[in-house]
Amino acid sequence: MPEEASVSLAELRKWREDLRFRMKHRIISLSHVWETMEHPDPLGFQLGKMMAVADVDSSWWFVDFMSLFQFFRDRPEQENSFRAALAHMHVMYSHDDTWTMVLEDLTPREQMDNCSRQEVDVFSCPEDQPQARKVGPVRLQALHHNRRPYQQRGWCRAELEWSGTRSQVHIINCSSTVKYGGRAPLCPELFQQQVEAGSLHFTHRSKDARPVMEKQAEVFLAKAKSCKSLDLKSLPVTELIVLADALFYYEVLAHLSLANCNFTSACLEQAKGLSQALERSASFSLYRTLRNVWLEQCCMDFAVLEALSNWLSQLQSLEGIGIRQSGVQDHGAMCLARKLKSNSLLRYIDLSGNCIEDAGAEAMAQLLQKSRSIEVLNLDSNRIENAGAVALAKAVTENPVVQKLLLSYNCIGARGACALAAAAREGTSLKTLYLHGSPVAQGCDDLAGALRGKPTLDFGQTSVDQVAASFANGLTSNDSDATGMQGTGSEESRVEGISVDLTSVDSLIDFLLHPAEPIRLVKGSYLQSLHWQGLTMPRRQDVPEDGFVSREELQKWKDEVKFRAEHPIVGLSHAWEALEHPDYAGFQLSLIVGFRHSDLPGTEMWWHFIDYMSTFQIWQTPKQDYSFQVYMQHGHVMFAHDETYTLAIDELTPEAKHVAALSKSIRIRLPDADGVQTVPVRDLVLKGIPPSERGWMRAERLWSRARSSPSRYMMVNEASEGRRGLSGKAPLMTTDPHSVSKEVAGMKFAQQKDADAVTYILRQVLEDKANNLRLLTLVKLPQSEILALTAALPRYQALQRLHVTDSPMMEEDVRELAAALGVLCLQHSLEQVVLCRNMQEDSGALALAPALGSCCRLYDLDLSGNGLGNRGAQAATSIVQTSQSLRSLRLNQNRVGDAGALSLAQSLQSRASLLEELSLKENFLGDAGAGHFAVALQSAPQLSTLDLDQNRFGRAGREALHLALEGLLHAGRDIDFRPEELQVAGRQAPPRPHQHQRRRPLGAGLLAGSVLLLGFTLYKSRLGSLLEHFVLDRLGTQSFAPQQRRATTCLLLRCQTGFSAVQRRGIQCSCADEPTLVCETMS
């Protein structure tokens, strides 16, 4: 290897002295397999994998084949160098300032076979001719191959175990199968057992096995004896057993933290093994040193929790224990309370974010009564109700040392609030009582009295002041911080009430134009330019003004429908992958720019809400802080408003792109620095929680479910281009505080105040939708969501139009839906019901008939595609006869026959009938049915539209309808009838009134030609906007024959620009294909 390929001594000295130089050049040790005895990577497969994963330009590599002298070492100094390196090999894999790249993959066997005759330059030395040793070409098939997997090789496993003893996980995985990071330190006895059992193999077992075992023991013991804090993530229960055996050697360990682990035991033997391992780990030194044990987001069953409880009870030095967001239930809390009674130094217990109910709270109350050391008990975000609150209140009055009791976001009502208020007054030591997010409105007077009687009591960021004026007055009278969700107590942080109607365009734009500018929308074209330049998202303070949507553009979006369709407003729901920056690798930016949706323009036309770019980030001026407070109270508008879309990114940066980004730097603002600085990505605080488990993303999903059309929620990831969304979800609609608290209880947040804010906002969103939503469109609901829909419908007090399509319903589901619709009809709000392709038999229509017939404002009903036969048609007839407002009925694509046609025709002849439009397209009507409608046409003066197209009429039926239409024509009645061939034939016999009018001037003919030209131009390009105003104004004032007017208007409707222009001028269409064209345009 040439000398210039090696790192020089001068560079090493600079690396030691210069921190910036050290951050630029990482030292990476490669842990890989030797595929042949003569060469580790004869075909360059491993080298290609390395280059594909990481940016290797600035890294310094330790690769044994290149970094150590290889056989044959013909000089003594080479042999001495190799022996010294072998004795200290662990340094390159266990030092805290180095990294390890793990490469498990072997060159594919097929590739090896195809290149078997290829020559590779290796060192060769014939046994009978030692003087002939040299480096030269040798055929691949002549080398000594070794296809043993990585995990079965002794040196590879040793390097992996050495890497796991670092204080931070510095392992880079470029393998195609296993990802590392979920490993516990392996004690020497277990490693020795694996070697002696033969599960690990060495090339030279007699020489290498014993030194490797000794070196592993040396490294492990050196690290364990000096380690004071151990933080591990993503451990399975098998690794927890390994950790339990290793803890015996940690003599000075004071803090143990486990996060995102799966401690669900697959069998009883695992739980027993864990219990035995924990008992073995309880060394005398660990009894004296371990003070804090924290488990967060760890899934565990009762057997594992019981084993942990037994172990914790033996740690007499334990001062704090936290088991957060780990699914602990009542029996788990009772077990913990029973075991922890023996810990005399225990001061802090955190069981927040679990599933503890009253029984578990009562057990913790008993622990409080007997303990004289516990100062803080955190039970936030559980399911505690009044009984548990009363028990805790009693314990607080009897415990002289407890200072903090945190019960936010439980289900505590008035009785529990009163008991806690009494305990707050009587408890001598209690300084903090958090109850925000609990439905305690009826107990606010008692809470306010507790504050007035004890001014030093801290109620935190409670929201009860927002539901009871007396509590707010109590806060004010004691000069406490009557803050909102994010309130800081200062005057600048108090945001005046801003009301945003989540269904109104005007209200949305007025909010975006608020003087505080809480949100600035980012142009898609600016995001595109960032991506093309290889840059990451800047914070709002660093975005240039031309990257934002201007106030003038927002006003134009409010006023013009066409402009609104060209620039959809999209809120981004995504995970912050690092504490300092949401998208340090630019992965999310690439997904946004590359996303395409068939119903929307390209993303370069979108206006984006991205919290990091749209809201002020740290650190803010007082004005910016006020703007951020306004956003925090109304950020849900961007996800719940009916005129916005949501784009959700449901995955984190892939491993390969993450590793490539680690060698780069990013410009961010650090809390302890002035101004924006360039910081290496590897120094960021990364968050590995999956997006599906993050509280804010789940909240944004819930807010999006409250829209009138859940299909506006779109999901995107790198693996597929499918736009998965909420089209199969019923809207979340509950204003019950208990139900809202349960929805939030399972969410994971970095700070408790975020959970408080989400609960408050979610309740406000649902109340706003319940009071104001007028249109609800649902598509492809599964059967499980039908029940959710029927439960939610009665809460929509202002719902006017309900559209449910392609959602299979059973007979009992239809009955539930009918009951819900009956409630809406009693509220006198429902005006339009569209239930298409949901039912398969007549029983559905029979169940719906009583409810729909009682709707006093229902004017439009569509039951197409439900398989309705004659009985279903008779049920629809009863709706027509009993309804006092129904004007339009569509029964297309059903199985209605002549008997059903008879009942419908008779209803048309009734004097009480108000039906103006009836559509029976694509049914089973025969000549008899045609005759029934021919008779009805003569005595149904209110009927203006009848569609009988694509039925089974014979010659007799067609003649009967033809004669009926001729009679209407002579009587001077104009009816829109289909099939069109019958309508046209009937209208050509007598002269129409407009045919006797004078001939049109030449300008009308020119105008018609201009309209045709405009339609064609709009269809091909956007240049037609030059002629739009002139032609369409004339079109709205000229007197056209109905057929001519229909043709020209439909031509305009064939493109979105033309449709928007016609819609703005109020020009109506009456052609046969109008519904289809309008649907194509709107989609």
3-state secondary structure of 942: coil
Please tell me the distance from the alpha carbon of residue 412 to that of residue 442, in angstroms, as a whole number: 11
What the block records as the tokens of 83 is 């022996």
The 10s digit of each residue's pLDDT in 673-732 is: 566 778 888 888 777 777 877 878 888 888 887 787 777 888 887 554 444 454 556 565
> What values do phi and psi take at 72, rounded to 5?
-100, 130
Residue 176: per-residue pLDDT: 54
Contact partners, residue 978, CB within 8 Å, separation at least 6: 921, 946, 947, 948, 949, 1072
Please tell me the distance from the alpha carbon of residue 527 to that of residue 604, in angstroms, as a whole number: 8
Burial 132-143 (b: 16+ CB within 10 A, else e): eeeeeebebeeb
What the block records as the tokens of 815 is 């009955």
Please tell me the distance from the alpha carbon of residue 466 to that of residue 345, in angstroms, as a whole number: 39
CA 12-18-23 angle, to 5 degrees, is: 85
Residue 412: per-residue pLDDT: 84
Q: What is the enclosing helix (H) or strand (E) of 778?
A: strand 775-779
Torsion sign (Cα): 991, 993, 994, 995: positive
Q: Are 262 and 283 in contact (CB under 8 A)?
A: no
Whole-number Cα distances in Å, 74 to 81, 296, 870: 12, 56, 100
Q: What is the enclosing helix (H) or strand (E) of 725?
A: strand 724-725
Please tell me the distance from the alpha carbon of residue 167 to that of residue 231, in angstroms, as a whole number: 8
pTM score > 0.85 for this model?
Answer: no
Please tell me the distance from the alpha carbon of residue 937 to that of residue 895, in angstroms, as a whole number: 22
Please tell me the distance from the alpha carbon of residue 242 to that of residue 27, in angstroms, as a whole number: 29
CA 1052-1057-1058 angle, to 5 degrees, is: 20
Q: Are 258 and 233 in contact (CB under 8 A)?
A: yes
Bridge partners (DSSP) listed for residue 776:
802
Strands 320-324 and 348-350 turn out to be parallel
Whole-number Cα distances in Å, 243 to 182, 250, 275, 287: 11, 11, 12, 16
Torsion sign (Cα): 1059, 1060, 1062, 1066: positive
Residue 709: per-residue pLDDT: 78
Sheet containing strand 569-573, edge to edge, reads: 522-523, 607-609, 569-573, 644-649, 713-716, 724-725
Domain at 839-990, CATH homologous superfamily: Ribonuclease Inhibitor (3.80.10.10)
Whole-number Cα distances in Å, 60 to 29, 174, 297, 554, 578: 9, 17, 37, 52, 26
Residue ranges of E strands in 662-710: 665-669, 676-680
Distance of CA 481 to the CA centre of its chain: 34
Distance of CA 318 to the CA centre of its chain: 38
Q: Is 236 exposed, middle or buried (0-12, 13-18, 19+ CB in 10 A)?
A: middle
Low-confidence ranges of the chain (pLDDT < 70): 52-57, 125-133, 167-170, 173-182, 203-207, 265-275, 277-287, 427-428, 437-498, 619-620, 670-675, 718-746, 748-754, 756, 826-828, 911-912, 981-1083
Torsion sign (Cα): 119, 120, 121, 127: negative
